[in-house]
Amino acid sequence: MSADQSAPAVVVDDVTRVFSKRGRRTVAVDAVSFTMRAGRDLGIVGESGSGKSTLARIIMGLDQPTSGRVLVHGEDLSSKPRSRAERLRRAKLVQMVYQDPYGSLDPRQTVRSCLVEVLRLHPPRGGNVAARASELGDLVGLTPAQLDRSPVGLSGGQRQRVAIARALAVEPRLIILDEAVAALDISIQAQILNLLAELRDELGTAYLLISHDLAVVRQLTDDVVVLHHGRLVEQGETGAVLDEPAEDYTRRLRDSIPSRHWREPGMLEELTRVG
Amino acid sequence: MTELLEVEDLVVELFDGAEWVRALDGVSFTVAPGEIVGFIGESGSGKSTAVNAVARLLPASARVSGSIRFDGRDVLAFRQRELARFRSEELGMVFQDPRASVNPVTTVGEYVTEGLRKTKRMPRAAAYARAEQLLGEVGIAEPAQRLAEYPHQLSGGMLQRAVIAAALSTDPRLMLADEATTALDVTRQAEIAAILRAATRGRGLGTIFITHDLELAGALCDRICVMYRGRIVEQLPAEELHGGAKHPYTLALLRSRPSIEERMPRLPTITAADREAFLTAPAVGADDAGEASASEASASEGGAR
């Protein structure tokens, strides 16, 4: 165990991101600060325009904040990597799994060669790339036959397993799940959520989950941050925030989730001021 | 109560390029005026096929048998002109992605007034005046200004309201909403649900609401049809979804979904053996004749087996 095991996994320190387009300034992320503690999975919740995806890209090092800084396991990723070695080292800190497994996999190569490609860049301990590719397949529940197929021949749930295996191939300390189970059928979503929990217990990988789905956030995370129009409106333990939201916006978000209350006369109309 | 739509023993076979696939395998259901009937199920369960069959939107090569009666008329027997009139005057349709429904290079006003101008042959000025009322009905503020704008100037939720306004413009009697709230944020989703419910009740529409979200169907609909592999495996009043569902597939879906109330050590999953059992378990609800509950009695079809 390394010395910084108890140090925060992610520190987001007064991060602002402003986009300027044709003279119009949009503040996508507005002075947001929070800490993701080591050994605790964090959810970032918000609707479209909340800034959650911009923030994820910044934490991932794919985008730079206009001001403020981000530390991932103590490393400042706010600047562009200066060398190939630095880029590879950063990749070991954080990987990302996206919502759409179609868009994030190359249809021209088999799943196995996709994993091998990543393993060549990030050689596994012992150096046996082929063996490790098979092991990763096992780990995420893909059969050897599925590993030899193109992602095109796989179902949505299987492709998401591939995306998870590819992220794990790098052996990152943190995986950002950007709406990673949002597009899946209910029964497949349950399987992937279970798989993610098993992998966390087995490998110690931490998750930063970006989601609009509060039930998924509850199932997978310990702490939560709520964003609205680029600002942080509430944070705390996931259970506490969802059970007893302190802020109006969080309460509205929770009450907008379909429930039996919608059947009470006037409830839905009051919630939405429609009708 | 007289049914608006009666679908009986509908079988649809589609050619997938290699073989014929039975997409619907003997589906029977009804929709009454003022009622929202939810269709839930996973990808490939046939829920969209059922709705497309009602709108006669299946590929020309599809093999269709059974009957679809709209207001007593045989939809499957409609000739071209009758079908065109049925679709333009009696059906309203709302799909998942509002941006796919509208023309990005014409104004929202042109889109919302199209049915009024073409189907109702309303003069332009009158159509725009009516469109303003319709936008008001779906909760869009400053309707005149919105009508002059282009689709990209509206948010997804706002544009979906405009699509619903356009669907309502011809005073349809049956609304088909296929994953109409799926692409929207939760707060926007609740708004669209409220609008659909208000339109269904206020106008006496029959609404078919397709969703993969059980909780949403349970919260919004009056009755629910649960589809699995081309069949309705369970029909039940929506308020009985929690606690009253009986079919093993419905129960499995309810259990697999994470809860906002508590974190579970592990979510129950569906095994291959479960899937076999779902197929062999008898259907529950309107199909098992005589056992329909009181609230279903008015809705159950006459000729059930």
Mean pLDDT of B173-189: 91
Distance CA A155, CA A188 (A): 10
- Bridge partners (DSSP) of residue A24 are A21
Q: How many interface pairs between A and B have CB atoms less than 8 angstroms apart?
A: 122
Which residue type, as a one-letter code, is found at position A180?
A
Range of weakest confidence among A86-90, B91-95, B237-241, B246-250: A86-90
CB-based contact A260 B239, cutoff 8 Å: yes
Cβ-based contacts of B48 with chain A (< 8 Å): none
Cβ-based contacts of B212 with chain A (< 8 Å): 185-186
Nearest to B157 by CA among A25, A49, A214: A49
CB-based contact B193 A268, cutoff 8 Å: yes
pLDDT at B223 over 90: yes
Domains of chain B and any CATH numbers: 5-291 (3.40.50.300)
Percent of chain A whose predicted confidence (pLDDT) is above 90:
67
pLDDT at B304 over 80: no
- pTM for this predicted structure: 0.88
Q: Indicate the residue of A186, A253, A273 with minimum beta-carbon distance to B256.
A: A186
pLDDT at B295 over 60: no
CB-based contact A259 B215, cutoff 8 Å: yes
Q: What's A3-234's CATH class?
A: alpha beta
pLDDT at B75 over 90: yes
pLDDT at A273 over 80: no
Closest chain B residue to the Cα of A185, Cα to Cα: B42
Nearest to B176 by CA among B206, B213, B151: B206
Closest chain B residue to the Cα of A263, Cα to Cα: B219
Rounded to a whole number of angstroms, the distance from the CA of B7 to the nearest CA of chain A is 27
Cβ-based contacts of A194 with chain B (< 8 Å): 266-267, 269
Distance CA B22, CA B228 (A): 12
pLDDT for the residue A154: 87
For the record, the structure tokens of A102 come out as 């179609």
CB-based contact B269 A218, cutoff 8 Å: no
CB-based contact A185 B193, cutoff 8 Å: no
pLDDT band at B169 (very low <50, low <70, confident <90, very high): very high
Cβ-based contacts of A254 with chain B (< 8 Å): 260
pLDDT for the residue A82: 87
Q: Indicate the residue of B185, B213, B260 with minimum beta-carbon distance to A212.
A: B185
Cβ-based contacts of A218 with chain B (< 8 Å): 258-263
pLDDT band at B161 (very low <50, low <70, confident <90, very high): very high
pLDDT band at B276 (very low <50, low <70, confident <90, very high): very high
pLDDT at A2 over 90: no
In this predicted complex, what is the ipTM?
A: 0.85
CB-based contact A185 B198, cutoff 8 Å: no
Distance CA B224, CA B218 (A): 8
Cβ-based contacts of A259 with chain B (< 8 Å): 215, 219
CB-based contact A258 B197, cutoff 8 Å: no
Cβ-based contacts of A187 with chain B (< 8 Å): 42, 252-253, 256, 269-270
pLDDT for the residue A7: 84
pLDDT at B291 over 90: no
Q: For residue A149, report the phi and psi dihedrals to the nearest 5 degrees.
A: -95, 165
pLDDT at B89 over 90: yes
Q: Rounded mean pLDDT of chain B?
A: 91
Range of weakest confidence among A8-22, A68-82, B101-115, B211-225: A68-82
pLDDT for the residue A23: 85
CB-based contact B259 A218, cutoff 8 Å: yes
Give the distance from CA B142 to its chain's centroid. Answer: 29
Distance CA A157, CA B201 (A): 38
Range of weakest confidence among A17-31, A79-93, A106-120, B72-86: A79-93
CB-based contact B258 A215, cutoff 8 Å: yes
pLDDT at A29 over 50: yes
pLDDT band at B185 (very low <50, low <70, confident <90, very high): confident
CB-based contact A190 B213, cutoff 8 Å: no
